[in-house]
Amino acid sequence: MEKPVKLACRSVWKLYGPDVKNVMTQKSHSERHLELSGEQIRAAGLIGAVRAANVEIREGGIFVIMGLSGSGKSTLVRCLSRLIEPTAGEVLFEGRDLLSMPERELIEVRRRKMGMVFQQFALLPHLTVLQNVAFPLEVQGAGRAEREARAREVIELVGLKGRESYFPRELSGGQQQRVGIARSLAVEPDLWFLDEPFSALDPLIRREMQDEFLRLQSMLHKTIVFITHDFDEAIRLADRIAIMQDGEIIQTATPEELVLNPATDYVAEFTRHIPRAKILTARSVMTPSVMAGGPAPNVCAGEVEASDRIEAIAEKIEAANAPFRVMEAGEAIGSIDRQAVIDVLVGRDPVGREVSG
Amino acid sequence: MSQVGAGEHSPEVRSAGISLTGAPLWLGLFAMTWIFSSYGRDFSKALDARWIMKYPAGWRLPFKRDISDAMKWLVEDASFGLFTFKEFTRGIAWLIELPYDFVRAAVIDGFVVGVGSEASQIAPSLSWIAIIAVVVAIGRVAKDWRLAALVGGCFLYLAVFGQWDSAMVTLASVLISVPIGVAGGLLLGIGAYRWPLFDRILRPILDLMQTVPVFAYLVPILFLFGFGPVSALVATIIYAMPPMVRVTTLALQGVPTEIREFGAMVGCTRRQMMWKVLVPAAAPSLMVGVNQVIMLSLNMVIIASMIGAGGLGFEVLSSLRRLDIGAGLEAGIAIVVMAIALDRLSQAFAVRPTPTHDEIESLQKAGLVKRHPWSSTVLAVALVTGLVGLMLPAAQSYPASLTLTTGPFWADLVEFINVNFFDQFEAAKTFMLTYLLLPVKRFLLGIPWPWGVAIITLAGWRFGGWRLALLAGGLTLFIAANGLWGKAMTTVYLCGVSVLLASLIGIPLGVLSAENERANRIVSAVIDTLQTLPSFVYLIPVVMLFRVGDFSAMIAVVLYALAPAVRYAAHGIRGIEPQLIEAGIVSGCTRWQLLRKIKLPLALPEILLGLNQTIMLALSMLVITALVGTRDLGQEVYIALTKADSGRGIIAGLSVAAIAIILDRILAASARNARARLGLET
């Protein structure tokens, strides 16, 4: 049973250049639809920062948009939040068209339902940690006592208790981004945008912040749009990943599907160096059973869940002499043995062919 | 310089199919100009065509008269229905006068009820001790005790050397015009940031305001508001506001995109975005603008003493008129002292680090007095000296018997120099006049105006295409059509000679300070101080040593316009990619080769920009040197000022602006060409 769609965009375009308006008028505006090839865009002297992007983000999941610099991922997320006006297309937030929303309503939606974390933190330098975190509530007109109480709560949540009266410049990068996270959570948004939140941090801190982020999400269950240029980070955090190249989304899938069925060589290039054990689940490695009921319990060493990652179960399967039963919803759907696990660990793909590279 | 942009590389030239390009073209044109200049007069006589040398009176445009008539109509007849224009200006005058009188009362006059002989003082002004306490406290709060001691010392100097009263009048004007200038500049800058259309309208007006010489808008202001402090304040505010507008727009545009996006994402309304997000985030850059407003205000308050601002500027002016050298120098030094104090204070505020969290926390725990230690101290000092002052006048105003005067000393010194070094000074002056100033003057003034217009149009076309050609030609024609050709050429001659000298001195100094750290420290210190000084001050020593005339004017202009030549040259050399220099060293360049073959060519665009700035400063100073008797457009403006002839003043002012704009555009275009040639810009 899939969760309802929180945010969706349909054929969103963002073109930059001198004659954008002309290109627009060639198509009737009501269509909100453009069909242009890369050559046509170049011929018109335009730059297609986002081209025909379709995205569906479901409630409660972490949706990662991944791409290298210049791939249009930051532009896309700004189209989704309407920080940038798309050239064409449709953005639906909870079923309402975000792009035709009048300014008042948009302000209201942003105040109550959206939060955003920025790459360079975007903290106001003249305000203390407490005032920064309370700022979104101040903008809404909340009373001082109320907003400071709420701000203290979220500051504690991100582990900065005791630093309320510090100024941003007195904090380390990691701490500053914690403030940024606390601030975006202060209004309890439904939809949480994170634009490369950890890219400006050094690698050790980045990892710590990723853990922290997963911890928060396990408590809060927000709908998240997470932008990154780091494929490892994407794999680590995502429920679904959209990979962008030259303004186009070239594949949207779960991390596992990306690794197993990369849509293009470009995607395959990213997935090549990712340790498979971290991504593949028992389901994708097992030998599916032909008969209902699967292998008999007495010939197996134990049971694993179909959604378990190989990384987590490798040790016990490798140590046992017999295969394990793979269970889904209480039913055995296949078996997994030592050889299958070893294949994954040494980088052979599940069918047994040597993975190139 | 003529090579810049004159190369065979520029596409529009090739397409135009001119065979004579680059240096030969310019040499040929120069030779022709020389011939015209030398024989133009004979030529026009021979042909009996006086119009060649002198723009015929019958062709003149009646702008002067029209503007004067329009001003007259504004003041006498214009009405907005409910109220007349005159009432409108009176209203503005009243609005400005109210706070001005209050501040004057607070710092110097004391609070008075009643008029004339009926007047009775109800409260004294702040005592001199209290005012010094205030500036010391501000210095301490802004930075440290050293700054406090410096500004305290400066103000003590004013008291001890008997300049207190005029200094306080000047200070009162600055105190009124700075907040108005800052607030007005901030609002206009915000407007320009918010509405692109408003920005497009405002930008050329600001450009014009910064190129039109200050005297030129003193004239209409004088006409509208009459002689007195209000006119001076209005002029000061108009003069000091443009940089604040620019700084505000730039500072707002400089706020990181993410901060702006953050504001949008938390649902700020436009107003919240501006006042809660953008303006606070831009505050440090805005302080730079405040510093500029303060310094420009001081500069203008001094100049505006000519239209009734009073204060230190008036002291200088009247002593120069009396040829009282000692008194003039003394007041001049007082201006310098005050400029340094105000500059250091406002700069310290601009870079002041905001307190850390524990400093704020410990303050919050303290009591009211402890929380505001400096305000409390100052308040106490003011009260005590005020009360003591009722019985002991010395506490209220600095006792006259204790004032020192250095006047006679300076007078003797200048006399000593003039007596003993007269021959040397005179020789230098005569040499410069004979071999530089007069030949250039003769050459430029000899050029027949039609040829001048043609040459300038051609230069505009050559450097910046037909658009620039049209602009340059049109502006030159404007000058000629108003019968100001001769005076404009005198301005060009004085400006040109001064800029030449300033560049000859400034560019090597800039190169030197880029190469040598010690030289840099000394040169920077000197240049910084020179830049702080109000332009008026430069006239004083020059007139004392060289008396009035073109030579004195030139020296004052060179001193005033030196700074950008030095700064841009140094900046250009420092900005060179270190790898390029290393490449030169590896190829075995000597230091001289390195400088000549690598550094100077690469720094050329920056040097050209510096030249541009030098010219702008030179022009603005040139107008002020009208006071020491030049015969150029500045003098024209000055005469208009004394006769309160709005049309004449505005047209002459616009002509100076026209010269500035032509030179600015041509130089900017050639700097662009140079950058493009070096591949620094696409």
Interface test with B, best of A124, A170, A190 (most B CBs within 10 A): A124
B282 to chain A nearest CA, in Å?
10
Each as own residue / partner, the long-range contacts of residues A39-45 (CB below 8 Å, 24 or more positions apart, any chain) are A41/A15, A44/A17, A44/A19, A45/A17, A45/A18, A45/A19
B98-416 has the same fold as B11-64+421-677: yes
Nearest to B262 among A118, A126, A167 (CB): A118
Residues 569-628 of B with CB under 8 A from A: none
Q: What ipTM was estimated for this complex?
A: 0.83
> Cα–Cα distance between B10 and B13 in angstroms, integer?
6
Give, rounded to a whole angstrom, the gap between the first and last alpha carbons of chain B. Answer: 21
Closest CA to A187 of A144, A145, A135: A135
B525-to-B327, B513, B532, B536 alpha-carbon distances in Å: 27, 11, 11, 20
Closest CA to A226 of A181, A261, A275: A181
Assign B309 to helix, strand or coil.
coil
Name, of A296-300, B3-7, B487-491, the range with top average pLDDT.
B487-491
Asked if the C-beta of B34 comes within 8 angstroms of chain A's C-beta atoms, the answer is no
Whether A352 has a pLDDT exceeding 70, the answer reads no
Closest CA to B634 of B494, B536, B539: B494
A254 to chain B nearest CA, in Å?
28
Interchain contact, A81 vs B265, CB within 8 Å: yes
Please compute the mean of the pLDDT values over residues B200-227 and round it to a whole number. 81
Each as own residue / partner, the long-range contacts of residues A136-142 (CB below 8 Å, 24 or more positions apart, any chain) are A136/A111, A136/A183, A136/A184, A136/A186, A136/A187, A136/B266, A136/B267, A137/A186, A137/A187, A138/B276, A139/A111, A139/B266, A139/B267, A139/B268, A139/B272, A139/B276, A140/A111, A140/A187, A140/B267
Whether B2 has a pLDDT exceeding 50, the answer reads no
Contact A223, A58 (CB under 8 A): yes
User: What residue in A sits closest to B364 (Cα-Cα)?
Assistant: A165
Both tokens of residue B134? 């205030």
Half-sphere exposure of A217 (CA within 13 A, CB side): 23
Interchain contact, B280 vs A165, CB within 8 Å: no
Amino acid A293: pLDDT: 66
Whether B367 has a pLDDT exceeding 80, the answer reads no
Closest CA to B437 of B540, B555, B263: B555
What is the secondary structure of B208-263 as a DSSP string? HHHHS-HHHHHHHHHHHH-SSHHHHHHHHHHHHHHHHHHHHHHHHHTS-HHHHHHH
Q: What domains does chain A contain, in order, with CATH numbers?
A: 277-346 (3.90.1280)
- Chain B residues with CB under 8 Å of A111 CB are 266-267
Please compute the mean of the pLDDT values over residues A216-222 and round it to a whole number. 90
Q: Return the CATH class of domain B98-416.
A: mainly alpha
The number of beta carbons lying within 10 Å of the beta carbon of residue B239 is: 25
A323 to chain B nearest CA, in Å?
53
pLDDT band at A23 (very low <50, low <70, confident <90, very high): low
SS3 for chain A is CCCCEEEEEEEEEEEECCCHHHHHHHCCHHHCCCCCCHHHHHHCCCEEEEEEEEEEEECCCEEEEECCCCCCHHHHHHHHCCCCCCCEEEEEECCEECCCCCHHHHHHHHHHHEEEECCCCCCCCCCCHHHHHHHHHHHHCCCHHHHHHHHHHHHHHCCCCCCCCCCHHHCCHHHHHHHHHHHHHCCCCCEEEEECCCCCCCHHHHHHHHHHHHHHHHHHCCEEEEEECCHHHHHHHCCEEEEEECCEEEEEECHHHHHHCCCCHHHHHHHCCCCHHHCCEHHHHCEECCCCCCCCHHHCCEEEECCCEHHHHHHHHHHCCCCEEEEECCEEEEEECHHHHHHHHHCECCCCCECCC
Asked if the C-beta of B367 comes within 8 angstroms of chain A's C-beta atoms, the answer is no
Model confidence pLDDT, tens digit, residues B163-198: 888 899 999 999 999 999 999 999 999 999 999 999
Interchain contact, B264 vs A83, CB within 8 Å: yes
Nearest to A120 among B256, B276, B357 (CB): B256
> Cα–Cα distance between A132 and A117 in angstroms, integer?
13
Asked if the C-beta of B259 comes within 8 angstroms of chain A's C-beta atoms, the answer is yes
CA trace torsion B508, B510, B513, B514 (10° rounding): -110
Amino acid B16: pLDDT: 38
Model confidence pLDDT, tens digit, residues B22-45: 677 778 888 888 887 777 777 777
> Cα–Cα distance between B663 and B214 in angstroms, integer?
19
Please compute the mean of the pLDDT values over residues B142-149 and round it to a whole number. 87
B140 to chain A nearest CA, in Å?
22
Pairing relation of β-strands A331-336 and A287-288? antiparallel
> Cα–Cα distance between A57 and A93 in angstroms, integer?
10
CA A163 from chain centre, in angstroms, equals 29
Tokens 């310094």 correspond to what residue? B295
A56-to-A61, A90, A227, A241, B505 alpha-carbon distances in Å: 11, 12, 15, 11, 68
Amino acid A24: pLDDT: 57
Amino acid A117: pLDDT: 94
Give chain A's contact residues with B (Cβ, < 8 Å): 78, 81, 83, 107-112, 114-116, 118-122, 124-128, 135-136, 138-140, 165-167, 170, 187, 193
Interchain contact, A122 vs B262, CB within 8 Å: yes
Interchain contact, B262 vs A167, CB within 8 Å: no
- Chain A residues with CB under 8 Å of B283 CB are 126
Model confidence pLDDT, tens digit, residues A243-261: 999 888 999 999 888 888 8
Amino acid A35: pLDDT: 62
Interchain contact, B261 vs A187, CB within 8 Å: no
Interchain contact, A165 vs B357, CB within 8 Å: yes
Nearest to B357 among A108, A121, A166 (CB): A166
Both tokens of residue B623? 């107008």
A116 to chain B nearest CA, in Å?
7
Residues 6+ apart with CB under 8 A from A188: none
Sign of CA dihedral B324, B327, B333, B337: negative
> Cα–Cα distance between B170 and B304 in angstroms, integer?
10
Tokens 């727009």 correspond to what residue? B249
Report how many Cβ contacts below 8 Å link chain A to chain B: 69
Interchain contact, A110 vs B261, CB within 8 Å: no
**Burial of B97 (C-beta count, 10 Å sphere; 0-12/13-18/19+):** middle
Interchain contact, B258 vs A119, CB within 8 Å: yes
Model confidence pLDDT, tens digit, residues B627-645: 777 788 888 888 888 887 8
Amino acid B279: pLDDT: 93
Asked if the C-beta of B277 comes within 8 angstroms of chain A's C-beta atoms, the answer is yes
Half-sphere exposure of A181 (CA within 13 A, CB side): 27
Pairing relation of β-strands A191-195 and A223-228? parallel
Higher local confidence (pLDDT), A109 or B673: A109
Interface test with B, best of A83, A154, A160, A199 (most B CBs within 10 A): A83
B11-64+421-677 maps to which CATH number?
Answer: 1.10.3720.10
Asked if the C-beta of B283 comes within 8 angstroms of chain A's C-beta atoms, the answer is yes
Interface test with A, best of B265, B270, B360 (most A CBs within 10 A): B265
Both tokens of residue B608? 């050209």
Please compute the mean of the pLDDT values over residues A89-118 and round it to a whole number. 91
Give the domain ranges of chain B: 11-64+421-677, 98-416
Which residues, listed in sequence order, are joined to residue A96 by a DSSP beta bridge?
Answer: A93
Interchain contact, B266 vs A128, CB within 8 Å: no
Please compute the mean of the pLDDT values over residues B580-602 and round it to a whole number. 87
Nearest to B266 among A78, A111, A127 (CB): A111
Amino acid A192: pLDDT: 93
The order of strands in the sheet holding A223-228 is A114-117, A191-195, A223-228, A62-66, A240-245, A248-253
Amino acid B380: pLDDT: 78
Q: Give residue B459's identity as a one-letter amino acid code.
A: A
Asked if the C-beta of B438 comes within 8 angstroms of chain A's C-beta atoms, the answer is no
- Chain B residues with CB under 8 Å of A170 CB are 356-357
Model confidence pLDDT, tens digit, residues A130-158: 999 999 999 999 899 999 999 999 999 88
pLDDT band at B452 (very low <50, low <70, confident <90, very high): confident
CA A117 from chain centre, in angstroms, equals 13
Tokens 């429920």 correspond to what residue? A239
Q: What is the largest CA-CA distance in chain A?
A: 72
Interchain contact, A122 vs B258, CB within 8 Å: yes
> Cα–Cα distance between B4 and B666 in angstroms, integer?
11
Whether B496 has a pLDDT exceeding 80, the answer reads yes
Contact A32, A110 (CB under 8 A): no
> Cα–Cα distance between A79 and A13 in angstroms, integer?
9
Model confidence pLDDT, tens digit, residues A221-230: 999 999 999 9
Contact B541, B326 (CB under 8 A): no
Contact B566, B523 (CB under 8 A): yes
Higher local confidence (pLDDT), A238 or A283: A238
Please compute the mean of the pLDDT values over residues B560-572 and round it to a whole number. 89
Contact A121, A176 (CB under 8 A): yes
Which residues, listed in sequence order, are joined to residue A161 by a DSSP beta bridge?
Answer: none
Interchain contact, B266 vs A136, CB within 8 Å: yes
Which residues, listed in sequence order, are joined to residue B79 by a DSSP beta bridge?
Answer: B84
Residue A82 phi/psi, 5-degree rounding, is 60, 30
Least confident of B194-203, B495-504, B597-606: B597-606
Residues 6+ apart with CB under 8 A from B579: none
Closest CA to B492 of B285, B649, B666: B666
Model confidence pLDDT, tens digit, residues B512-533: 988 888 988 898 888 888 877 8
Asked if the C-beta of B256 comes within 8 angstroms of chain A's C-beta atoms, the answer is yes
Both tokens of residue B467? 């658009």
Closest CA to B219 of B61, B68, B60, B62: B68
Contact B500, B435 (CB under 8 A): no
Name, of A270-274, B126-130, B263-267, B405-409, the range with top average pLDDT.
B263-267
pLDDT band at B11 (very low <50, low <70, confident <90, very high): very low
Nearest to A124 among B261, B281, B357 (CB): B281
Contact A186, A136 (CB under 8 A): yes
Closest CA to B7 of B604, B625, B665: B604
What is the secondary structure of B630-674 as a DSSP string? --SHHHHHHHHHHHT-HHHHHHHHHHHHHHHHHHHHHHHHHHHHH
Q: How high does pLDDT run on average in chain B?
A: 82
Whether A357 has a pLDDT exceeding 60, the answer reads no
Whether B79 has a pLDDT exceeding 60, the answer reads yes
pLDDT band at B21 (very low <50, low <70, confident <90, very high): low
Nearest to B272 among A78, A139, A187 (CB): A139
Least confident of A121-125, A341-345, B249-253: A341-345
Both tokens of residue B383? 């009260």
